[in-house]
Structure 1
Amino acid sequence: MNAELRQHFEKITPLTDQEFNYILSHFTTKKLKKHQFLIQEGDLVTTDHFVVKGLLKASFTNNDGKEHILQFAMEDWWISDFQAYFNQTEATLNIDCIEAVEVLCLSLTNREKLCAEMHKIEHFFRRKSNLGYIALQNRILSLLNNNAKERYEELLKNYPSLFQRVPKTLLASYLGVSRETLSRLSS
């Protein structure tokens, strides 16, 4: 049994053993090594991913070849190219492993099936989506309104463990600053 996934669901809705085992039967497990891609730009995206172990980053590379990091995902987080997942189209993002990773994969078909069959699961995914929208809005507003130092301090306050796990060049990209600027901010 996957205790991490069960605890994750039960932060929002309680489940019986029978309900959880049924839900778990709709997931598949995938293990990847550091630097492997979970999703590459151009891939057809068929699954959403719950992170059991490890750390990933979702990024977009612009026409000039500059990488922009949209998201990090560590244990107890979900990650995918959501536009491609929900539209069942090709990825515009790259998602790769910063550390060795184990994820539980949920196809859109299985997600829709579970939501149709179980109100608890539909409720869970609606709440997770709402929290995701709020986080995205806060990130955009932070990028628009806050200076580099404020963005750095906000990230440090909200996700202190990232600073031990993520190389400074990647943190700088996520914050929209140069590596040199990040070094000045962190000293």
Structure 2
Amino acid sequence: MKNKLKEHIVKLIPLSDNEFSFVLSHFNIEKYKKNEFLIQEGEDVNHCYFVISGLLKLVFNDANGKQHIVSFAMEDWWESDFLAYFEQTKAKMSLQCVEDTEVYSISLKNYYKLSSKMPKIERFFLKKSHSGHIASQNRILSFLTSNAKERYVQLLKQQPILFQRVPKTLLASYLGVSRETLSRLSS
């Protein structure tokens, strides 16, 4: 398990075994069952999560009670309600397990401590942040410029594994369509 985190980091920056041991000392391993929450709307957000195994969904519930899936996070992905995590405010979103999930968690205190003591890890986090920001902008642009069919095809091309691991109701929410529309798109 610890090798998964090291393999993930060394894709972007080199780390010796001693450096990785120091990095690892700032994380905790946590296990969650399907449907359990790592973060619930309205609560404090104390951790950011790296997914070792399993699948998470980040959800926003609007004023009408409609659930909007902001993202899915599977193996080798980082997830949290980042606004609440970095600003130390209450969660606006919930993070819930779609499958049994195992994660590394890092508190904000440890995130800053680790970043200040190891500039190369700070660069790693910056690169991951850039990637996440770009992905978010691409998702927004997709909603602004693509119809439902185009978004479906794009997701199928970029993340085909989601279609095997995620119930159609959740995929429909992520794509911003009804379950019935998703059935028509997939036939």
Asked whether the two chains share a fold, i.e. TM above 0.5, the reply is yes
The 4+ residue runs of structure 1 with deviation greater than 2 A are none
Q: Which amino acid aligns with 1:69?
A: I
Matches within 5 A, 1:3-18: 3-18=3-18
SS in 2 for 1:125: helix
- Who is 2:45 aligned against? 45
Residue by residue, what CA displacement relative to the aligned partner does 1:145-187 show, whole Å, maximum 9, x if unpaired?
Answer: 0000000010010000000000000000000000011001111
- Who is 2:130 aligned against? 130
Matches within 5 A, 1:7-156: 7-156=7-156
Q: Distance in 2 between matches of 1:30 and 1:42?
A: 21
Tell me the CA shift for residue 89 of structure 1: 1.4
Q: Distance in 2 between matches of 1:163 and 1:123?
A: 33
Unpaired runs of 5+ residues, structure 1, are: none
Q: Distance in 2 between matches of 1:4 and 1:186?
A: 34
SS in 2 for 1:149: helix
Q: Distance in 1 between matches of 2:4 and 2:143?
A: 32
For these two proteins, the number of residue pairs brought into alignment is: 187
Unpaired runs of 5+ residues, structure 2, are: none
Q: Which amino acid aligns with 1:13?
A: I
Q: Distance in 1 between matches of 2:89 and 2:60?
A: 16
SS in 2 for 1:99: coil
Residue by residue, what CA displacement relative to the aligned partner does 1:11-51 show, whole Å, maximum 9, x if unpaired?
Answer: 10010000000000000111000011110001100110000
Alignment RMSD (CA, Å): 0.7
Q: Which amino acid aligns with 2:179?
A: R
- Who is 1:184 aligned against? 184
Identical positions, percent: 60
Q: Which amino acid aligns with 2:64?
A: D
Q: TM-score, normalised by structure 2?
A: 0.99
SS in 1 for 2:13: coil
